[in-house]
């Protein structure tokens, strides 16, 4: 059965879904259904607009064929209160993007950080003794920063953001993870240029560059990139953001934001099914879904 085949749902079909509000834009159904088809699994992945989170999870517990959820805005933090177990890393991050159902118990975790870590490795970027600069302090930034800090590989992690309180909170939380990684927090105005100069990897975890009002903005304004640096822009619509365009001009290594989306979904698939994810089928479906929306 090809990745483009229509869904065939039977009484025996196991279900997974993405929940949030809105979810109509989600690329996850395309990826996961392509993966289920390629793996020959009797699974289907749906998208549900959910405002009543508690009611949704009560229903999930009652439905025997439900195996898992992807969780997106605005439920990634609120869902922590309704789960039976939460992985330690997700507790520290303070958000959950994946739920696995086992014996009517709902287990929460976050695959964002691990997905980003795999994307960085796949791009051939070395984190060992690296100096990493983050722009942003939101959920994605927290997940990726925790994954990098937990690995113990970087020498230094530097965080700049608009909110001094959020920067301070993330810095403080990261300091409890690894004693071998130096963690610094600062602001765009006071620290960005100097910290960018010493960085091996620059990560944009802000919406700047995304389709819409901020599309023509660079998340690292005024920074002169060098060929020996790597750039990871978590924004993937468009793929060639202003930051990525500048990085390509300077010969930097690029970590595609789309790869983070792919690899976090790969990990979800394996958690729900116990099978090895067909990565190429998922990548092709993701690219096709993006092209169809251009």
List, for residues 42-89, the tens digit of each pLDDT value.
999 999 999 999 999 999 999 999 999 999 999 999 999 999 999 999
Q: What are phi and psi of 219, to 5 degrees?
A: -75, -15
Q: What is the pLDDT of residues 212-237, one digit of tens each?
A: 646 677 888 889 999 999 999 999 98
Instruction: Check whether residue 204 and residue 242 sit in a common domain.
Output: yes
Does the annotation mark 76 as catalytic? yes
Please indicate, yes or no, if residue 117 is contained in any of the structural domains. no
User: Which tokens go with 257?
Assistant: 């934001």
For residue 230, the cross-strand partners are 201, 253
Instruction: Check whether residue 134 and residue 231 sit in a common domain.
Output: yes
- In this structure, are strands 66-71 and 98-102 parallel, antiparallel, or unpaired? antiparallel
- Grade residue 147 by pLDDT with cuts at 50, 70 and 90: very high
- Grade residue 8 by pLDDT with cuts at 50, 70 and 90: confident
With a cut of 60, say whether residue 146 has pLDDT above it.
yes
Q: What is the pLDDT of residues 108-135, one digit of tens each?
A: 999 999 999 999 999 999 999 999 999 9
- The dihedral sign for the CA sequence 210, 216, 219, 223: positive
With a cut of 50, say whether residue 3 has pLDDT above it.
no
Closest CA to 120 of 229, 232, 206: 232
Query: What's the confidence (pLDDT) of residue 1?
Result: 43
Closest CA to 269 of 15, 36, 96, 107: 36
Instruction: Report the C-alpha gap between 102 and 207 in whole angstroms.
Output: 35
Query: What's the confidence (pLDDT) of residue 214?
Result: 64
Instruction: Check whether residue 93 and residue 23 sit in a common domain.
Output: yes
Residue for token pair 């890393």? 89
Instruction: Check whether residue 18 and residue 101 sit in a common domain.
Output: yes
Cα distances (Å, whole numbers) of residue 79 to 69, 76, 94, 95, 99? 11, 6, 10, 8, 9
Percent of the chain's residues with pLDDT above 70: 97
Q: For the domain that residue 65 is a member of, what is the CATH number? A: 3.40.50.10860
Side-by-side strand order, sheet with 182-187: 182-187, 156-161, 131-135, 201-204, 230-233, 253-255
Element (H, E) at 282: helix 279-292
Interaxial angle between packed helices 28-39 and 279-292, expressed in degrees from 0 to 180 and rounded to the nearest 10: 140
Alpha carbon 130 to chain centroid, angstroms: 21
> How many residues would you count in the chain?
294
As a whole number, the mean pLDDT across the chain is 94
Instruction: Check whether residue 137 and residue 180 sit in a common domain.
Output: yes
Query: What's the confidence (pLDDT) of residue 139?
Result: 87
- Domains held by the chain: number: 2
Please indicate, yes or no, if residue 168 is contained in any of the structural domains. yes
Please indicate, yes or no, if residue 119 is contained in any of the structural domains. no
Q: For the domain that residue 201 is a member of, what is the CATH number? A: 3.40.50.720
User: Which tokens go with 139?
Assistant: 């959920």
Instruction: Check whether residue 187 and residue 277 sit in a common domain.
Output: no
Instruction: Report the C-alpha gap between 243 and 247 in whole angstroms.
Output: 6
For residue 15, the cross-strand partners are 44, 66
Instruction: Check whether residue 62 and residue 135 sit in a common domain.
Output: no
For residue 134, the cross-strand partners are 159, 203
Q: What is the pTM of this model?
A: 0.93
State which residues form the domain around 207: 124-255
Angle among Cα 206, 281, 262 to the nearest 5 degrees reads 15
Instruction: Check whether residue 183 and residue 227 sit in a common domain.
Output: yes
């Amino acid at each position: 059965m090809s990745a483009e085949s229509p869904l065939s749902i039977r009484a025996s079909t196991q279900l997974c879904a993405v929940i949030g509000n809105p979810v109509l834009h989600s690329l996850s159904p395309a990826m996961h259904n392509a993966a289920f088809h390629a793996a020959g699994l009797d699974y289907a992945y749906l998208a549900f607009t959910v405002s009543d989170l508690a009611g949704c999870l009560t229903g999930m517990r009652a439905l025997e064929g439900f195996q898992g959820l992807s969780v997106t805005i605005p439920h990634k933090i609120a869902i922590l209160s309704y789960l039976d177990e939460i992985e330690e890393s997700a507790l520290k991050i303070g958000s959950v993007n994946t739920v696995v159902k086992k014996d009517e118990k709902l287990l929460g975790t976050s695959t964002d950080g691990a997905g980003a870590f795999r994307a960085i490795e796949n791009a051939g970027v070395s984190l060992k003794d690296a100096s990493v600069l983050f722009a942003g302090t939101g959920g994605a930034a927290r997940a990726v920063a925790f994954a990098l800090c937990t690995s113990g590989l970087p020498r230094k992690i530097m965080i700049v953001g608009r909110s001094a309180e959020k920067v301070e909170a993330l810095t403080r939380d990261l300091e409890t993870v690894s004693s071998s990684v130096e963690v610094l927090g600062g602001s765009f105005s006071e620290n960005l240029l100097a910290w960018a100069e010493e960085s091996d990897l620059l990560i944009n975890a802000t919406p700047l560059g995304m389709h819409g009002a901020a599309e023509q903005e660079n998340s690292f304004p005024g920074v002169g990139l060098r060929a020996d640096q790597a750039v990871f822009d978590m924004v993937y619509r468009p793929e060639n953001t202003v930051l990525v365009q500048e990085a390509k001009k300077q010969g930097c290594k690029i970590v595609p934001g789309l790869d983070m989306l792919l690899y976090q979904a790969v990990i979800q698939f394996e958690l729900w099914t116990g099978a090895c994810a067909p990565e190429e089928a998922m990548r092709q479906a993701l690219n096709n879904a993006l092209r169809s929306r251009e």
